[in-house]
Amino acid sequence: MAPGSAVRRSTLYALRWLWRLLAALLLAERLLKHLAVLRFFQRAPAKATRAPGLVSIIQPILSGDPALAACLERNLDARSGYRREFIWLIDADDAPARRICAELVARWPGLAIRVVELPPPAPEHNPKLVKLIAGAAAAQGEVLCVLDDDTAIPDDGLEACLPYLDQPGVGLAFGLPYYTSFDNLWSSLVACFVNSSSLMTYIPFAALRDPVTINGMCYALRRETLDAVGGFAGLERVVADDFAVAARLRAHGYRLAQTPLRHPIHTTVRGPRHYAGRIQRWLIFPRESLMRHLAPGELAIFYALVAAPIFFPWLTVAAPLLRPGPAARRFALAYLALSYAIFAHHNHAYLGSAVPWTHQWLVPLTQLTLPAQLLVALAAPRRIVWRGHVMQIERGGNLRLLRRRAS
């Protein structure tokens, strides 16, 4: 046998095994994450060892979404055995928010609801963090629960979350988001993106090590813990409030607890530009927080579990093109079928079938378009639109308000 022929045979043999190894890794990534989700929800729930006392639910509010009133009222109507008060933080010039809050206060006279109006924040301050500082000062509860204004705590949701604050070393407990917005195509795309990735992102990371960031849409901590770390003050300049709060607690030696609380979110995405801006904002935030501030070991896990798998659907689709043949086609079909089956199980078992079957075809579409959106976000200018506010994100995560939305 000629030397050149032997080299070619060895190269082809090595490439064949490389393709097999890559295919096995891509399938194993899906299966292992799925097993992590199954094990997470099979664990016994945390038991409370002390009564939480009064729970202050702090909600920064900004009008603009047609579902705002319904989302706020859903929390007022949620069943809970805990005593609660609601602190609603609105802008002084936000007349629609003031009207909605006044109507709800009048409709629920038996609940403790306080509406706090605030002047416009400084241009370099995160409006949400400014409101959280004011909300923490106004709250009287022993436990503070921070909730976005498009987020709802389900019946007995506090009971599913707050007992984790009693575990050793835990300073903050947070839930898992999923979307219930299917009013139009663009809202549905956002919902399918979150509902197909939330469980497979947060839970596997928490299975390997303590979380390094939180879901900022819903989290809870004790008043004594917040006071011990200096409150929210000093974080106003950071755009990624969830990472800023998580980093502050971790710097003081507290653990972050991922809880099994699943909380619905309803937000309306008006059109393609609004959709693209929302996805880009979500991708820019980790770029300027997690990717710049995590320790090397934490960053390696983040890249391996979160960033790299975003591109796996592209590798799957490319496999039959790069290596034509039945084996590559079978692998591509197996990967896509496995991914869909895992999503369908999670959607039914853990998310209350939030994604209706008529919209489930959008899930593979979001998975195939996400890599392109990530590449755009990595290269795009650090400018976002946040409910009408135009903001410039500085390198490292600080922000500067370029233009406030019209009153």
Q: Where are the domains of the chain?
A: 55-179+209-269+389-403
Contacts for 12 with CB less than 8 Å, ≥ 6 apart? none
Residue 182 has pLDDT above 70, yes or no: yes
Residue 9 has pLDDT above 70, yes or no: no
Place of tokens 């009153």: 407
Place of tokens 């839970």: 203
Contact between residue 237 and residue 125 where contact means Cβ atoms under 8 Å apart: yes
Answering whether pTM is above 0.85, one says: yes
Place of tokens 């709060």: 245
Place of tokens 């009064």: 54
- Among 328, 327, 363, which Cα is nearest to 342's? 363
What's the mean per-residue pLDDT of the chain?
89
Q: What is the mean pLDDT of residues 21-44?
A: 94
**Rounded to 10 degrees, what is the CA torsion of 123, 129, 134, 137?**
-140
pLDDT at position 109: 94
The span from the CA of 331 to the CA of 316, in Å, is 8
- Out of 3.90.550.10, 3.20.20.70, 3.40.220.10, 3.40.50.300, the CATH code matching 55-179+209-269+389-403 is 3.90.550.10
The span from the CA of 317 to the CA of 335, in Å, is 10
Q: Is 227 helix (H, G, I), strand (E, B) or coil?
A: helix
The span from the CA of 219 to the CA of 256, in Å, is 10
Residue 401 has pLDDT above 80, yes or no: no
Which residue type does 391 have? Answer: M
Which one-letter DSSP state was computed for residue 62?
Answer: -
To the nearest whole percent, how much of the chain has pLDDT over 90?
A: 65
The pLDDT tens digits for 218-255 are 999 999 999 999 999 999 888 888 999 999 999 999 99
**Rounded to 10 degrees, what is the CA torsion of 165, 169, 174, 176?**
-110
Q: Is 170 helix (H, G, I), strand (E, B) or coil?
A: strand
